[in-house]
């Protein structure tokens, strides 16, 4: 029996079609992440993933793709071979460049590090909502970036918009409803999936290198 025929039988037993399975895989491999509270389509695909998780894992296993599924907060993220994933044991695979491996600019890296530090701070202070998100003002984000990394957010609105669009695409943040997401009084929520991007070990290393700056950021 061909693998496709076996897969179709397994899907039929769960009352799904091959097209529905393909749609789920294409979305996962294209975006690298599903977040249930992002949109109606991602709610649908996340719920489908939950029902087809064993088949998805079987499909991705030969490619040595690693999957992090946080059922509590409703998100799934894929990692390429060799990637170090918080909460998952390391393996002996060597990392590669390309595919759905996330490539970040220096500005994006800085933003992700600050988001992780702010999330960690809020977690210690118990300021996390029921969905594991942390509320942060855009102004507070800018202050934290200056204190932690001695950097500023992009001054040009177009560049700032591209930065936050990228962070949203990675399902690391989402903005509270506003007529202008880039306004100084705008608020955003940091998603718990930020911990998949910056591990505790990396965060501690940054703190060790910049003890004064981090202390200042935590006191604001």
- Whether 75 and 117 share a structural domain: no
- Whether 110 and 200 share a structural domain: yes
Q: Which residues contact 95 (CB under 8 A, 6 or more apart)?
A: 80, 81, 82, 83, 101
Q: Which domain holds residue 115?
A: 106-219
Q: How far apart are CA 45 and CA 89, in angstroms?
A: 26
Pairing between β-strand 66-70 and β-strand 33-35 as defined by DSSP bridges: unpaired
- Whether 51 and 110 share a structural domain: no
118 domain-assigned: yes
- Whether 44 and 144 share a structural domain: no
Q: Are 176 and 66 in contact (CB under 8 A)?
A: no
67 domain-assigned: yes
18 domain-assigned: yes
Rg (CA), the chain: 19
Degrees (nearest 5) of the Cα angle 127, 130, 136?
Answer: 40
- Whether 34 and 136 share a structural domain: no
Domain holding 184: CATH number? Answer: 1.10.10
Which residue positions in the chain have pLDDT lower than 50? Answer: 91-100, 179, 211-220
Q: Are 166 and 108 in contact (CB under 8 A)?
A: yes
The neighbouring-strand residues paired with 173 are 190
- Whether 112 and 159 share a structural domain: yes
Residue 186's pLDDT is 85
**Overall domain count for the chain:** 2
pLDDT in tens, 102-142: 577 888 888 999 999 999 999 999 999 988 999 999 999 99
- Whether 112 and 189 share a structural domain: yes
- Whether 138 and 208 share a structural domain: yes
Tell me if the pTM is above 0.85: no
71 domain-assigned: yes
140 domain-assigned: yes
13 domain-assigned: yes
- Nearest CA to 183 out of 175, 174, 191 is that of 175
Helices (H) and strands (E) in the chain — how many of each?
9, 6
87 domain-assigned: no
Which single residue is written with the structure tokens 């940091």?
190
- Whether 208 and 153 share a structural domain: yes
55 domain-assigned: yes
Q: How far apart are CA 57 and CA 40, in angstroms?
A: 23
Residue 195's pLDDT is 85
- Whether 112 and 168 share a structural domain: yes
CA 45 to chain centre: 16
- Whether 138 and 204 share a structural domain: yes
Q: Which residues contact 67 (CB under 8 A, 6 or more apart)?
A: 56, 57, 60, 76, 77, 78, 79
Q: Are 147 and 219 in contact (CB under 8 A)?
A: no
- Whether 155 and 215 share a structural domain: yes
């Amino acid at each position: 029996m061909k693998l496709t025929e076996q897969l179709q039988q397994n899907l039929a037993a769960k009352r799904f079609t091959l097209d529905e399975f393909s749609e789920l895989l294409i979305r996962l491999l294209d975006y690298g992440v599903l977040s249930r509270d992002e949109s109606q389509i991602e709610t649908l695909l996340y719920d489908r993933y939950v029902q087809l998780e064993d088949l998805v894992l079987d499909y991705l296993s030969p490619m040595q793709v690693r999957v992090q599924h946080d059922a509590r907060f409703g998100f799934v993220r894929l990692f390429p071979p060799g990637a170090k994933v918080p909460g998952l044991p390391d393996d002996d695979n060597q990392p590669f460049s390309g595919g759905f491996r996330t490539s970040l600019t220096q500005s994006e890296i800085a933003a992700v590090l600050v988001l992780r530090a702010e999330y960690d701070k809020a977690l210690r202070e118990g300021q996390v909502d029921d969905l594991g998100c942390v509320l942060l003002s855009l102004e507070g984000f800018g202050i934290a970036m200056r204190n932690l990394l001695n950097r500023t957010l992009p001054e040009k609105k177009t560049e700032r918009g591209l930065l936050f669009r990228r962070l949203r695409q990675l399902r690391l943040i989402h903005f509270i409803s506003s007529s202008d997401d880039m306004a100084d009084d705008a608020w955003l929520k940091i998603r718990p999936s930020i911990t998949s991007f910056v591990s505790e070990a990396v965060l501690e290393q940054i703190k060790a290198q910049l003890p004064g700056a981090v202390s200042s950021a935590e006191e604001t």
